[in-house]
Structures are given as C-alpha cells and as structure tokens.
Amino acid sequence: MLSDSIDQLRNSSLRGLHRRRFIQTVFGAGAAAFLAGRFANAGASQGKAAAGQRVMTARGWISARDMGVTLAHEHALANFQPYQEWASRPLAYDRDEVVKVVLPHLLRVHALGCRTFVDATAAYLGRDPVLLRRLSEKSGLHVLTVTGNYAADDYKHLPPWVYTLSAEALAQRWIDEWTGGIDGTGIRPGFIKLGFNGGSLSEVEQKLIHAGAIAHLKTGLTIGAHTGPAVSAFEQLTVLEKEGVHPSAWIWIHAQNEKDPARHIEAARRGAWVEFDGIGPETLTLHVTLVTRMRDEGLLDHVLISQDAGWYRVGRPGGGTFRSYETVFTEFVPALRAKGFSASEIETLLVRNPAKAFAISIRGAAERG
C-alpha cells in the first residue's frame, strides 16, 4: 500500500533523530533555521524580483516569497519516444504506479527542507501536469511545469508543425497554454522550456528562441533553455537581446557542460541565470568548483543549482532506475559549508535566486537583473 510506504519513509532514516538536530548536523547550525522554513517571512531579502511578485505552480499562484528552498531542475517522469512514435503508439503508464514510485522521494526532500520542485520535463518528453498536481498535493511541495518545445536530442521530440508555423504562431501556442491551461487541464505552466542541441543554432532552433522572446514579452514567463555548450547559449542571448528581452529572463540549463568557466562568468555578467544542474555524488567536486568560482567572481546571485534527477521512465518495468533528489541536501550543501560558504550564501543559491528566476515578470531590455 502507498500509505504504508509513506509511513515507512517517515519512520526510517530520521527515526530517533530530532528534525532540527538532523538539519543542524547536515547543514551546520547557521543554515538550520532557513532549511527549517524560518526564512519564509524574510521576503525582503529575496530582492525586488520576489517582492510583490508571484509564481505559477501546478496548483495555481503562490507568492515568489513562498517558494522557500527550491530544486530548480528535476524530473518526475520521462518518455523518450520520438514524437512520431509517441503520436502513433504512445507507451502507456499508470499514474497511480508513478505516484507510488516518485512520492516517497518527494516526501524525503520535503523532510529535508525543500519546499518547491521545478519539474523541467518538456512537452512531448513526458510532461504530465495532472500527475504533477497530484504529486504536489500529496507531497506538500509547490511544483512547476512547463510550456514550450524541445529540439535537443537531434529534433526527435519536435512535432512537425513546429517546422511549418511562424515564430509568432508557435509562441501563440505557448501563450494559449499560459492563459487557458495545458491540454484542457486548467493547469498553467510556470516557465517556458526550450531544448537546443548545443551547436550553432539551426533554422528551427532560431525560430524556437525567437518564439521564446515573443512569448516572454507577452506572459512574463522565464525561458529555461536546455543548452550545454556556450556557442548555442550566446547565440540565444543575442537573439533575445535583439528582440528586447533582458538576459535575466533566460536560464542557461546544463551550463556545467561548457568547459570554459569564463563563458559562465560572461553570461552571468550580462545578467543571465547560469544553472549547474547535474549534481550527483560523482560530480560533487566539479559542481563545488563551479559554484565557488562564481561566488569568488561576485556572481553567486546569478547561479541556480539542481540535480536533473528522478525520472520514472515510461516503458521500463517499475519506471527503471530512479535517481533520488537528496544529493543537494545530504552531500552538496555540506560540501559547500566545508568550503566556507555561509548560511546566507546557501540561502542565495536555494531560496533567493529561484524566487527571482521564476517570478512571473516581463524583463525587457532595460532591466538590470
């Protein structure tokens, strides 16, 4: 029974250990208060982007101040069928089974202090807003979902109409999901997720980022761009700026895949969000180095961190091997503390920055962060 597994989770590794003392042990006494939720009323410290602004979740509006500790790029479910195969023979899955697999992992990070979970699963890669709303209701986490289209993975997941529509018409599809909800569910996206292959922009990729600019200026939704290497990232920034969109409306997803740290610094200095989202036990040294360098350059307030983890994979028994969402809390933050990061700096990464990045706000060319 699902209820039994939840009870087992609640009584397992934290049994016999007072929650506050556990948080202090993992994060250090200085960080314990905010991870316990005690920064919930410190909205003024989150900057002007959070003050008075809101975020759209699968259950509706919340104040940006209420996001709390946020995982900025994760996945509950993924379906990697090419679009044409999905359109003709979609793999079936049972939402109840997915909830049974994913929910304990969400409850675990909720117990560790997480309050918002950004699901970055793109359209036609397993985006399921109804599932995400259920998981949000059962876990107590705020959950964001997406609009947009995904050209990465060699265009396998692009519907044919993306090639034929104008950028304006493509953007209107995303705007319609913002105003009317996704696929008749009434659930609205929290940001625009676009996917790029990493090289110089192809014709259809140029259309995607142009459409992203149009949609942002109509909706205020942030553009999260699966990108990786800098060549694609900076071409996207050029398009956005020409269209009158400030870089602060754009997230460089998978920036850790760019090997030249000078490009991370350059993008952040232009005002973009630089996201290091592949955190796992085997990448701790790399990610600590990346984040430390940005701090030392005075650019920590342009950095997002997450794990790109989870993934109940449709078509595999039981969803395949599930990667938990815990590493940020149990290993990465302690590693930052060991490097001398203060509680305030960790709050910047996990609380302040996501509140600014995902707040619904039209950020035109005149904006400055």
pLDDT single digits (tens) 150-176? 999 999 999 999 999 999 999 999 999
16 confidence band (pLDDT: 50, 70, 90): very low
Q: Kindly report the number of other CB atoms within 10 A of residue 54's CB atom.
A: 18
Q: What's the predicted TM-score (pTM) here?
A: 0.89
In the predicted model, what is the mean pLDDT of residues 246-254?
A: 98
Q: Which of 142, 152, 149 is nearest to 71 (CA)?
A: 142
| pLDDT(264) > 60 | yes
| pLDDT(115) > 60 | yes
pLDDT tens figures, 327-354: 999 999 999 999 999 999 999 999 999 9
52 confidence band (pLDDT: 50, 70, 90): confident
50 confidence band (pLDDT: 50, 70, 90): low
- According to the 3-state scheme, what is the secondary structure of the chain? CHHHHHHHHHHCCCCCCCHHHHHHHHHCHHHHHHHCCCCCCCHHHHCCCCCCCEEEECCEEEEHHHHCCEEEEEEEEECCCCHHHHHHCCCCCCHHHHHHHHHHHHHHHHHCCCCEEEECCCCCCCCCHHHHHHHHHHHCCEEECEECCECCCCCCCCCCHHHHCCHHHHHHHHHHHHHHCCCCCCCCCCEEEEECCCCCCCHHHHHHHHHHHHHHHHHCCCEEEECCCHHHHHHHHHHHHHCCECHHHEEEECHHHCCCHHHHHHHHHHCCEEEECCCCHHHHHHHHHHHHHHHHCCCHHHEEECCCCEEEECCCHHHCCCECCCHHHHHHHHHHHHCCCCHHHHHHHHHHHHHHHHCCCCCECCCCC
| CA distances for 198 relative to 13, 225, 254, angstroms | 41, 10, 10
Q: Which residue has the higher pLDDT, 18 or 293?
A: 293
Q: Which residue has the higher pLDDT, 255 or 7?
A: 255
Highest mean pLDDT among 6-15, 48-57, 352-361: 352-361
